Structure 1
Amino acid sequence: MKVKILVLILSTFYVANAQKNQGIIGESNWFNGWTNFKPKAVVYPAANQIITGDIKENMTLTKNNTYLIVGSVHVASGVVLTIEPGTIIRGDYDTTGTLTVVKGAKLIANGSETDPIIFTSNKPASERKAGDWGGIILMGDAPISRLGGVASSFYEPNPLYSSFGGLNENSDSGVIRYTRIEFAGKKIDNKMALNALTLAGVGNKTKLEYIQISFCSDDSIEVVGGQVDFSNVISYRATDDDFDFSMGIQSTVSNTIAIRNPYCSDNTRSRCFEIDSYDKVENFDALKKKTFVKLNNVTLMNDEENSMGLVKEAISLKTDSFVEVNNCVIAGFSSFIAFDDRYLADDNFKKIKVYNTTVDSCTEVFTNETLNKDQNASNWFMQNEKLFAVTNVGINNLFKNNDVKRKPDFRLK
């Protein structure tokens, strides 16, 4: 009993004295003003404008209208779609309303803290649920680690608009800022669903910040190749992964949070981050960059029981993919990082970097894919020189306010 009490005291002392820069940060709570954790309760205006087919000339969507996306809407190459702050765009259920910004086109969705842009369901408030419409797809000509250097989108059936990838790291697909995406991720068939936001071969001039994605029935964000960064993103109650990275993506994710919930998980191994370099090794171009994701000030919070919830590992890391974790907080999982067997057999875990990070209330820290503790990896990361702490404080004591129903503030206490 004395040992347990001492561990708790030390854990509490560590969190209380942790550097202020761990987890999501900000002098004020940057959730305020533009987010909504109860979108099912909002009565949005009925759509008075329909968007369908191909957008072949520059277009601006204005705040004084409410728009309905019907079917697959394509922003053609060379065209810019601009959305004014405060504009509401609703996605049609029956036709799986989806907005695709093809390679060479741009989306300028630059909302504001007081006037966010909202993509949401077209159903009445009482009937909304995850998967009510398709989502947003951005495609660019940045490098992907695929033989031939280009690929076709799994989600876009029209071959005229499905190609992505190229040689342009500075590719610019536009801006998504102060934007909410709600109830997206409708299933295409029994095996595949759309994501709230899909980025394919998107380059580093694309700006993605202050984005809240809520109640997506698949991944909140899927990134396939490219070189693009994220800042101030909230993934809330995703059914599958919060972030899915593959095909050689080079990305830094900063000041971002994934909030898991037991009522929004599926049985296909949902994670906060799924990181790999290829779907099939025979498609991988060894001359291209392998997937590398850097997490700065990221909070991964699981509000499930470790032994009962469907979300087990915070991060799933596959062979030939790499992650660096800096100033992060991971709380409430069965495993912090689950490595695949090849990763563990080759001791590739020694290439992974974890700095100034707190892992709290997790059953294990480093495991294999079956969530059995890997002692070699654990011994490696727990060496004294690693700036890394394991605590057992609990989510109710870690954050200023983890109640999403009452103005949540996930900065550390």
Structure 2
Amino acid sequence: MKKSTRMFLLFLLVLGIYSNSYAQQEKGIVGIDNWLNNWTQFRPNQEYYGEPTQILTGSINKDTRLSKRYVYLLLGSVFVVNNATLTIEPGTVIIGDYKTKGSLTISKGSKIIADGLETDPIVFTSGKSVKRAGDWGGIMILGDAPTNKFGNGSVAAFHEQLDANNYGNTNYGGDNVESNSGILRYVRIEYAGKRTKTAGYFDGLLLAGVGNKTKVSNVMVSYAAGDAFKILGGGFNLEQVVSYKSNGNDFNFNYGAQCGLINSLAVRSPYISNSEGSSRCVHIISYQEQGEVDLSKKGTTVMAKNLTLLNDSEDLASDIKLGLVREGIYVGHNSSLDMKKTVVSGFNPAVIFEKKITINQENLEKIQFSEMYFNNCNGNIFVENNTNNDDLENWYGNSAFFNVYSKGHNAETFIDLNNERRPDFRLKINKIIATNNDPDLDD
């Protein structure tokens, strides 16, 4: 072989090794810069947004614009109806009333255009001097995209003392896959999730029957008493969204949702939970009760890529013994998940499958984990109430999936968790290669 040819092949080999090494860093949330900067707030209790100067109440039945120059108060159940569009300027602050469980519902056919800026996000928050999870209701966006339920769904139970004229405005679901409920971009939702007598907790952001023309990106839900993001049916993508220390689930998908979850972050605290005690980072089911859904329709399907799912324990082993730490991901019967390039760190265990799921090739091909980084978890993937997971370990541990396992502390795993103002949850460079025990990679 000529010397020049050998040098060229050596160059290609080095380039290939470098490319593969770089590619393995692209797990968890990614970005050349820390995309959490500027618009997020990890200490919202230290923010003062001023007193309300305008009140929103009842129904908004025509196109309306909210201006940054005012601070708005959501008084009771506020509905956007009659195919109206609610436009919110960047930098606008909306406060949810505590006493009346202030909430905002975008009814089927109406839209919200909350298009903030990285340097000027829109904020929905608590008006109390000492802020706590569940200080107000939350935001509900209802569309006419399909679900797997028999008939339409309804969120009427959340609205106590609801005016009879608004019952029709609480319905969701239909046949319009391309339903457009508007835009949520550079938005923060803080301290939502008020508890109701009939429906449990409000969620920070509930999206029901929302179609694929709806845009949801750069939305942060922090300190929600219910779920941070709840998706009921519909189909759309969530990109660069953040759930921070929610009491409920971080991302809850149900009723045949067909969704993408991309480049997004969930940070859980073992010291925060609601009374239901069943909260996970990612919760994927296709029904609450099997009799309420049409099993001939699509079950819930989630395509997830580049997530960072982190449990923020001060002493993980102790917190597990105390029963404060649960699994990071839960997958229910008749549901599908394709998860790639995701970091799951500090859970007990990383993943649980519902006990109804039979472990066979057909079902395992519907629940994919590839190029994952399972870190510091008390076990990896199990079936509910079954401690023998040999079949699952053999399947997902196959080198074809390129999954990686490690036992690093959070502070060693992520770039900068201790920066209270501007934390960086991206994976440290070369962290994966340093902890990979695959002999083919060690050579």
TM over 0.5: yes
Q: Which residue of 2 aligns with 1:164?
A: 172
AA at the equivalent of 1:341: K
- Which of 318, 341, 344 in structure 2 is aligned with 1:330? 344
Cα distance in 2 for residues equivalent to 1:240 and 1:61: 30
| RMSD over equivalenced CA pairs, Å | 1.7
State which drifts further: 100-109 or 286-295.
286-295
How far does residue 263 in structure 1 lie from its aligned partner after superposition?
2.4
Q: CA offsets per residue over residues 318-342 of structure 1, 9 Å max, x none?
A: 1001111111111000112101111
State which drifts further: 372-381 or 383-392.
372-381
- After TM superposition, the structure 1 = structure 2 runs for residues 259-270 of structure 1, keeping only pairs within 5 Å, are 259-267=267-275, 268-270=277-279
Q: CA offsets per residue over residues 171-222 of structure 1, 9 Å max, x none?
A: 0000010000000000012760100000000001110000111100010011
Q: Which runs of 5+ in 2 are unaligned?
A: 1-20, 429-443
Q: 1:391 to 1:188 in 2, by over 3 A?
A: same
- After TM superposition, the structure 1 = structure 2 runs for residues 202-221 of structure 1, keeping only pairs within 5 Å, are 202-221=210-229
How far does residue 129 in structure 1 lie from its aligned partner after superposition?
0.3
Q: Which residue of 2 aligns with 1:32?
A: 37
AA at the equivalent of 2:350: F
Over the matched positions of the two proteins, sequence identity in percent amounts to 39
Q: Which residue of 2 aligns with 1:314?
A: 328
Secondary structure at the residue paired with 1:287? coil
Q: Which residue of 1 aligns with 2:14?
A: none
Structure-1-length-normalised TM-score? 0.92
How far does residue 346 in structure 1 lie from its aligned partner after superposition?
5.5
Cα distance in 2 for residues equivalent to 1:404 and 1:265: 24
Q: Which residue of 2 aligns with 1:104?
A: 109
Aligned length: 396
Residue pair 2:338, 2:366 contacting (<8 A) in 1 also: no
Secondary structure at the residue paired with 1:160? helix
Q: CA offsets per residue over residues 251-310 of structure 1, 9 Å max, x none?
A: 010010000112222352110011100111111112321100111100100012251353
Q: 1:191 to 1:147 in 2, by over 3 A?
A: closer
- Which of 145, 150, 155 in structure 1 is aligned with 2:148? 145
Q: Does 1:255 align with 2:270?
A: no
Secondary structure at the residue paired with 1:254? strand
Q: Does 1:388 align with 2:393?
A: no
Residue pair 2:301, 2:337 contacting (<8 A) in 1 also: yes
Q: Does 1:340 align with 2:348?
A: no
Cα distance in 2 for residues equivalent to 1:255 and 1:41: 27
- Which of 59, 62, 73 in structure 2 is aligned with 1:54? 59
Residue pair 2:42, 2:421 contacting (<8 A) in 1 also: no
Q: CA offsets per residue over residues 67-112 of structure 1, 9 Å max, x none?
A: 0000000000310000000000000000000000000000000000
Secondary structure at the residue paired with 2:58? strand
Structure-2-length-normalised TM-score? 0.86
Q: Does 1:196 align with 2:198?
A: no
Residue pair 1:266, 1:310 contacting (<8 A) in 2 also: no
Cα distance in 2 for residues equivalent to 1:227 and 1:141: 11
Comparing both structures, which one devotes a greater share of its residues to helix? Answer: 2
Secondary structure at the residue paired with 1:141? coil
Q: Which 4+ stretches in 1 moved above 4 angstroms?
A: none
How far does residue 18 in structure 1 lie from its aligned partner after superposition?
6.5
- After TM superposition, the structure 1 = structure 2 runs for residues 364-383 of structure 1, keeping only pairs within 5 Å, are 364-370=379-385, 372-383=387-398
Cα distance in 2 for residues equivalent to 1:17 and 1:261: 31
Cα distance in 1 for residues equivalent to 2:375 and 2:227: 24
Secondary structure at the residue paired with 1:227? coil
How far does residue 372 in structure 1 lie from its aligned partner after superposition?
2.8
Q: CA offsets per residue over residues 132-179 of structure 1, 9 Å max, x none?
A: 00000000000000123x221242454221111001110000001000
Cα distance in 2 for residues equivalent to 1:129 and 1:370: 34
How far does residue 406 in structure 1 lie from its aligned partner after superposition?
4.2
Q: Which residue of 2 aligns with 1:299?
A: 308
Comparing both structures, which one devotes a greater share of its residues to strand? Answer: 1
Secondary structure at the residue paired with 1:54? strand
Secondary structure at the residue paired with 2:288? coil
